[in-house]
Structures are given as C-alpha cells and as structure tokens.
Chain A
Amino acid sequence: MVSKAQLLQFIVSGIMVGSIYAIIAIGFNMIFNATEVINFAQGEFVMLGGMTTVTFYQVFHLPLWFSCILSVLLVTLVGIIFERLAIHPMKHFSVLNAVIITIGASTIMRGGTMIALGRDNMSFPPFTGTGDKPFMILGSSIPQQGAWIILAALLLVFGLSLFYKRSIQGIAMRSIAWNKTAAELMGVNVKWIVMLSFAMSAASGALAGVLVTPITLTAYNVGLILGLKGFCAAILGGFGNFWGAICGGVLLGLLESLGAGLISSGYKDAIAFLVLLIVLFLRPTGLFGTVKIREE
C-alpha cells in the first residue's frame, strides 16, 4: 500500500515530466498549425538543446545561463536551416512527403550529433540548488529543477497565448491554421510564417531539452522517444490546441508516473498508452479537439 506522501510524490513527478511533454507537444502544434505536418525531428530539437548546452558549459566553460540561451538560439537556427533546406525546396508541397523528410532530417541530426559530440550520456547541474535542497510541500519533495520546469511551461503557454492573440505574426499563424488559402488571399506570407513556426518550434524543443537534462541526462539518441511522447501529448489534448497540449502532456506524465508507481514500472508505457487509446475511442479528436475532423 502506498502512503499519501508517496502518492503525492508520484503526482508531483508526473506533473514535472508532463510539463516537458507539454512543451514538446506545443512545438508539434506550431508546425502542425502552419503546415499540417507532424515533425518527427521535434524530439531531435530537444536532444540538441540538451547536448549543445552540455557542450557550451563543460567544453567551453561558459556560464550555465549563457550556455542555455546560446543553445536555444543555436537550435532555433538549426530549425530555420532545416526548413530552408528541406521543406522549402519541395516543388509540390505534400504533407506525407514532408513527414518523411522530417524523419530523414532527424536521422541526419542524430548522426551528426553522434559524430560531433559522442555517444556518452551527459548532463549538467540544475539551474539552482545542486539537488539537495528540494521544496517540501505536504511531505513530498519537489526538486528545484522541477519547479523551474513547471514555471517555464506555464510562462511559455502564457507568452504564446499573448503572441497568438496580440501580435500580427501570431494572428497570421492562426489564420493559416484556420484556412490556408483564405489567409494567403488576405496577404499573409505563408512561406515566411512556415519558416517562423519551424524556428519557434525548434526554440521550444530546445527549451524542453535544456530544462529536462539536469534531471534525466541526455544522449544523442534520446530524441525519438521524447518526440513520440510529445506527439502523444499533442494528440491527447487535440492536435493544434495549445491548452490541450498542456493538459495532454500533464495527463500523460501523470499516467506514466502513477502507472509506474502504483502498478508496475515495466508496464508503465502500456498503461499510459492504453488510457490514451480509450480516450481516443471515446473522443476521436482528443480531449480539446474541434468538431471539424476533416475536409473532403
């Protein structure tokens, strides 16, 4: 039997991991809204964020905060280059082809990182407090990094909802998600917006990588599984919906941590994905999905 404190601990760590999934899911949504493409390289942005920060911090001995910012900027640049070199040159844009291109690009990023930075597991210290002074709430401990993660996820969503409501670029992005042709006719520069959404998506992926590395380690091959979890969170919340992504991510994190803690750690993925299947069968467009399923 688990105690109340233990249960609370599972919930806290579920929310922590879930916030990471949520940030990755938000990255999926950005690209999906502009192009309807699921970006299989999303997880690689997360991996790159963690790996480059480690490199700046340990190899070049830059201050931690500076390494983090530099890494997010660098990965954003990678996102822009990726869009310019691989998505932009397609003669006839096709969603499926673009999806396969993102798979190819993820292989390139993975391979490149392995050659440049090696195969070892890497990590760097948490932003504040070196792990031994967690916050205590109702008998469960929250590592300080966990608080950073949750804070960053909330700030990101808050900032994004402002961006999408107030800024002209954000409004243009929403208009493309709603109806691409109409948006184009109204003078929205779709190509520019697509590039911008890749850049923003890469930046949020890198942010997730920077946040999660101190608690889980990183290596050149962690991208795929993180990406799949983020995709799952995005689907769970309703693809394209940002608040849905947060709820989907946190729900997935909770399911995993409670499944592992209360039932069996070996079956934790099976439990989480079983619940996901049930949710999908009951609500075919995710928890917050729109009624409009398709256009024919």
Chain B
Amino acid sequence: MSEKDSIQKRIENRNLGFWIFLGIMMSWPIFYPNPYYLNVMIFTGINTLVATGLNLLFGYAGQISMGHATFLGIGAYCSAFFTVKLGWNPWLGFLIGVLITSLFSFLIGLPSLKLRGYYLAMATLAFGIIMETFFVELKSITGGPDGIGGIPALSLFGFKFHTDLRYYYLVWVIVACLTLLVINLVNSRAGRGMRALHESELAASVLGINTFRYKLAIFIFSAIYASIGGSLFAHYITHITPESFSIMHSILIVVMVIIGGMGKIWGPLLGAGIMTILPETLRAFEVYHEIAYGLILVLIMIYFTDGVAGALNFVFKKIPFFNKKLIS
C-alpha cells in the first residue's frame, strides 16, 4: 500500500470513531430523555466546544491561553446585548460576537504570542483580568455585576429551541460539526505545520513555516470556538453575570484540556465531560465535595501522564479490533 493510501485509510478510520460517537450522542436522549441529564449534557457540550478550541491552540500548537473564558464572555455578552438591549436577531448577535472576538483575539494575540511559556500564560491571564473588570464596570453595556437577563431563545426558520431536548440537539450538532472541522484541520497541511510548531518552533521555521502567522491564526480560530460556546451558553441560561467568565473559568478550561489529554481529538470531550459531570456527581458528598474534587484531579494527574484520552488510547491499543480501526 502506498504512503498516500495509508494516510487516506487512517483518516477514514479516525472518522469511523467519530461517527460511532455521534450516533451514541444523538440517540441516547430518545431512549432516556431525563431533563437533568440533558441539562448537564448541554453544559458538557458547550465546555467541549471551548476546550476543543483551546486544545487546538494548547494541545496541538503548544501555545497556552489562560484567558479563554474572556472570549466565552465576549460571545455571551454580544449575544445578550444585541438581543436584549437592541432587540436584534439572535443569529446576528452570534455573528457579531464572533467578529468582535476575532478582533480582540487578533489585537491581544499580535503582541502576546511573541511571549513563551509562563510569560504567555501571564499575558493572557492579565488580558482576562482586564476584561473581567470591564465586564463588571461597563454597566451600560454589560449590566455590571447583575449581568443581563431575559435573553431570548434561539430559533431557526420558525423552529424554536426553547426546550432542553431541542437545545441539546442544537448544541451537539454544532459540537459535532466543529469537532469534525478540527479533525480535518489537524490532518491538513496547516495541521502538520501546527504540530511541527509544537515540537520545535525553530525547526518549523527552518522548514519554511511562518510560525508567528500560524500561531496567530490558531489563536483567533480557538477564540472563535470559545465565542460560539459563549453565545450558546447565553441563549441557554438566559441570564449571564460576569462570574461565569472569570479567571477561575479560564483556569478550568485549561484543566479540562490537560485532564482530557492534550493534542488528542477525544481529549477535550473527555476533559469537559469529567469537569462538568464530576461536580454534579460530587454534590452527594455535600461539604466534602471540594476535597473529593481536588483529590480526583490529583489522582488523574499522578497516574495518567497523558490525560484520560492517553490512558484510554493505551487500553484500546491492547484490543486488536480497536487498534486497527479507531486509534490514530
């Protein structure tokens, strides 16, 4: 088999895993439409989206952002502001959110992405703190600490997404489309450039990759994912406050990516799943839930060096069927 064929085959196989997963996600609510689980899974979907974007930046291109909740916030506040205060079409708010996020991420990425490691982390963190202050202080636009309420439901050609079940499908179809986009992107020429950048920026630039342009493009791309997540979040919970877009949330998104497994397609999904569902499950522990939560975080990181996706890869590689079909 020629080299090209084998790559073609591998890409097809990767998509097989994706379609199986999609089938499961789309069918379980039909058999088991429990509103509480739907609610948790909607948040999982939104977090998956944001983590997928960050995984592209952090996991594949190796550039950290500790300010991603800010882009989530920009998306959410655009959706809220243009629909509630100006009464525009929600999809227009979505679009404006994406545009403004692109602009902001371009402006902050341009000087920041020259920094490395913890210095880049600090710069994006500082950006997050500055924007968080604006979310609280610009009361005429953001509603201050009280936030903006009464955000209308989304609708498409007269079909309203006002029930949990309908919103679940909306969120997960978007997650599926955007995950597929990432899968294709990672296996494209741009994706190979991106991974080369992660291994060694110097070597990548010697090979003729314009590393800075790649970094900036991926930064904007991943910020857009967060913005879309933010808009979906705003239209679902209908009342947003600055707390949802704080530094704590930025850190949580980074934790999701690392816990799930950096640079792996399934990583963000697993990370977002664990970090969203775990606090819900741990409520049973009442006051001890924070301790249990921290303990699980510590244990996962001690024993799964490559995150949960890395550990699952390791397990699946032992099973011949999966080894051939599903693992890239």
Residues of A within 8 A of B (CB): 38, 40, 86, 89-92, 94, 96-101, 103-112, 114-115, 224, 228, 231-232, 235, 239, 266-267, 269-270, 273-274, 276-277, 280-281, 284-286, 293-294, 296
User: Which 7 pairs show the lowest CB-CB distances between chains A and B?
Assistant: A111-B290, A104-B297, A107-B294, A108-B294, A104-B298, A270-B133, A273-B126
Given A111-B290, A296-B202, does the pair A270, B129 have CB atoms closer than 8 Å? yes
Are A103 and B297 in contact, with the CB atoms below 8 A? yes
Are A100 and B301 in contact, with the CB atoms below 8 A? yes
B323 at the interface (CB under 8 A from A): no
Measured in the bound complex, the distance between the Cα atoms of B200 and A104 in whole Å is 30
CB distance from A23 to the nearest CB of B (A): 19
Given A277-B123, A280-B119, does the pair A96, B288 have CB atoms closer than 8 Å? no
Are B288 and A280 in contact, with the CB atoms below 8 A? no
In the complex, number of A-B residue pairs with CB atoms less than 8 Å apart: 134
Are B114 and A114 in contact, with the CB atoms below 8 A? no
Measured in the bound complex, the distance between the Cα atoms of B294 and A90 in whole Å is 16
CB distance from A96 to the nearest CB of B (A): 6
B255 at the interface (CB under 8 A from A): yes
Are B305 and A270 in contact, with the CB atoms below 8 A? no
- Of the candidates A104, A115, A293, the one having the most CB atoms from chain B within 10 angstroms of its own CB is A104
Contacts of B123 in A (CB 8 A): 277, 280-281
Are A281 and B290 in contact, with the CB atoms below 8 A? no
Interface string of B121-139 (1 = CB under 8 A from A): 1110111011011101100
Measured in the bound complex, the distance between the Cα atoms of B235 and A166 in whole Å is 62
- Of the candidates B200, B291, B303, the one having the most CB atoms from chain A within 10 angstroms of its own CB is B291
- Provide 25 A-B residue pairs closer than 8 Å at the C-beta atoms, listed in order of the A residue: A90-B302, A91-B303, A94-B305, A99-B258, A100-B258, A100-B259, A101-B298, A104-B296, A104-B297, A105-B294, A106-B294, A107-B293, A108-B291, A108-B298, A111-B291, A115-B287, A115-B291, A267-B133, A267-B137, A270-B129, A270-B130, A274-B126, A280-B123, A284-B114, A286-B119
Measured in the bound complex, the distance between the Cα atoms of B129 and A101 in whole Å is 23
CB distance from B110 to the nearest CB of A (A): 10
Measured in the bound complex, the distance between the Cα atoms of B294 and A143 in whole Å is 38
Contacts of A296 in B (CB 8 A): 200-203
Are B291 and A112 in contact, with the CB atoms below 8 A? yes
Are B129 and A273 in contact, with the CB atoms below 8 A? yes
CB distance from A148 to the nearest CB of B (A): 29
Contacts of B171 in A (CB 8 A): none
Are B247 and A228 in contact, with the CB atoms below 8 A? yes
- Output the nearest chain B residue to A286 by Cβ-Cβ distance: B119
Interface string of B276-319 (1 = CB under 8 A from A): 00000000000111110111111001110100000000000000
B196 at the interface (CB under 8 A from A): no
Measured in the bound complex, the distance between the Cα atoms of B315 and A21 in whole Å is 45
Are A294 and B130 in contact, with the CB atoms below 8 A? no
Measured in the bound complex, the distance between the Cα atoms of B200 and A96 in whole Å is 18
CB distance from A116 to the nearest CB of B (A): 10
Contacts of B290 in A (CB 8 A): 107-108, 110-111, 114
Are A270 and B301 in contact, with the CB atoms below 8 A? no
Measured in the bound complex, the distance between the Cα atoms of B123 and A274 in whole Å is 9
Contacts of B201 in A (CB 8 A): 296
B103 at the interface (CB under 8 A from A): no
B22 at the interface (CB under 8 A from A): no
Are A235 and B116 in contact, with the CB atoms below 8 A? no
Contacts of B121 in A (CB 8 A): 38
CB distance from A113 to the nearest CB of B (A): 10
Measured in the bound complex, the distance between the Cα atoms of B256 and A103 in whole Å is 12
Measured in the bound complex, the distance between the Cα atoms of B288 and A114 in whole Å is 10
- Output the nearest chain B residue to A275 by Cβ-Cβ distance: B126
- From 177 to 216 in chain B, residues with beta carbon under 8 angstroms from any chain A beta carbon are 200-203
Contacts of B200 in A (CB 8 A): 296
Contacts of B259 in A (CB 8 A): 100
Are A97 and B133 in contact, with the CB atoms below 8 A? no
Contacts of A280 in B (CB 8 A): 112, 115, 119, 122-123, 126
Measured in the bound complex, the distance between the Cα atoms of B302 and A92 in whole Å is 9
CB distance from B295 to the nearest CB of A (A): 6
Are A224 and B248 in contact, with the CB atoms below 8 A? yes
B262 at the interface (CB under 8 A from A): yes
CB distance from A78 to the nearest CB of B (A): 14
Are A103 and B305 in contact, with the CB atoms below 8 A? no
Contacts of B116 in A (CB 8 A): 284, 293-294
- The residue from B126, B301, B303 contacting A277, defined by CB atoms under 8 A apart: B126
- Of the candidates B137, B287, B294, B296, the one having the most CB atoms from chain A within 10 angstroms of its own CB is B294
Are B258 and A96 in contact, with the CB atoms below 8 A? yes
Contacts of B119 in A (CB 8 A): 235, 239, 280, 284-286
Contacts of B297 in A (CB 8 A): 100-101, 103-104, 107
B87 at the interface (CB under 8 A from A): no
B111 at the interface (CB under 8 A from A): yes
Are A91 and B305 in contact, with the CB atoms below 8 A? yes
Contacts of A270 in B (CB 8 A): 129-130, 133-134, 137
- The residue from B115, B137, B202, B287 contacting A284, defined by CB atoms under 8 A apart: B115
Measured in the bound complex, the distance between the Cα atoms of B298 and A99 in whole Å is 10
B117 at the interface (CB under 8 A from A): yes
Measured in the bound complex, the distance between the Cα atoms of B130 and A115 in whole Å is 33
Other 5 A-B pairs with CB < 8 A, given A108-B290, A109-B294, A266-B133: A89-B302, A107-B290, A111-B291, A269-B129, A270-B130
